[in-house]
Amino acid sequence: MTSPSSTIVIEDDELPPSWRSANLQVQRTSLRTSPEILIEPNDAASGSIEPSRKRKRAKRKQPDTLDTCFKKLRKTFDQRDQEVEKLDQKVENLEQEVEKQQKQVQELQSKLLLQEDRHQEELSRRRILDCKICYEQPDCWHNLLCGHMICEPCAKLVDLSTCPFCRRTFSGVGTVPVVDTQAIFSFIFDINAV
């Protein structure tokens, strides 16, 4: 008979041999105090000792079944679908923004072309109003007999027996002062516009 203070050591037979200690004698002689492995006799007063029982292990979590895996996959796919929808919406918004920007660019380009045309017209008008000798825009003009015009200061400096532009020779009076310059230049611009 065994005394009530004796302990029974239960070894887990399911452990693979590689996990067990090499020195089993040392393990068996050392006293284990873990409550899991100590088994107390049920009826110490009666003196009867029940045969040792192996302890029951707690059930491990069962691997996910096919249904739970399917639910997880469905949830993942739904999340991905939502992300794809959000990204599609972003793409659509960006495409609309690009369209707006392209329209603005086209409008600005057409405005720029109009401004360039106006600028070129203004430059051509100024070139017509420039004296071809000194490149200034005088108030008083002199008309040569050949039809060319020069400013008054240049008319005083240039030999007026020949035209400085076409080299045509003149006899008598070489220049005629222009009285109404605005009328002449408006006439010139009307001819150039046609």
Give the pLDDT mean for 41-47.
50
Residues 6+ positions from 142 with CB-CB distance below 8 Å: 149, 150, 151, 152, 155, 175, 176, 177, 178
Residue 123's Cβ-side half-sphere holds a number of Cα atoms within 13 Å equal to 6
Which of 33-37, 55-59, 161-165 is most confident? 161-165
18-42: per-residue pLDDT in tens? 555 555 444 444 555 555 554 554 4
- What's residue 154's pLDDT? 86
- The dihedral of CA 99, 100, 104, 110: what is its sign? positive
pTM over 0.75: no
- What's residue 27's pLDDT? 47
Asked whether residue 85 carries a pLDDT value surpassing 80, the answer given is yes
CA 63 to CA 16: how far, in whole Å? 22
- What's residue 43's pLDDT? 47
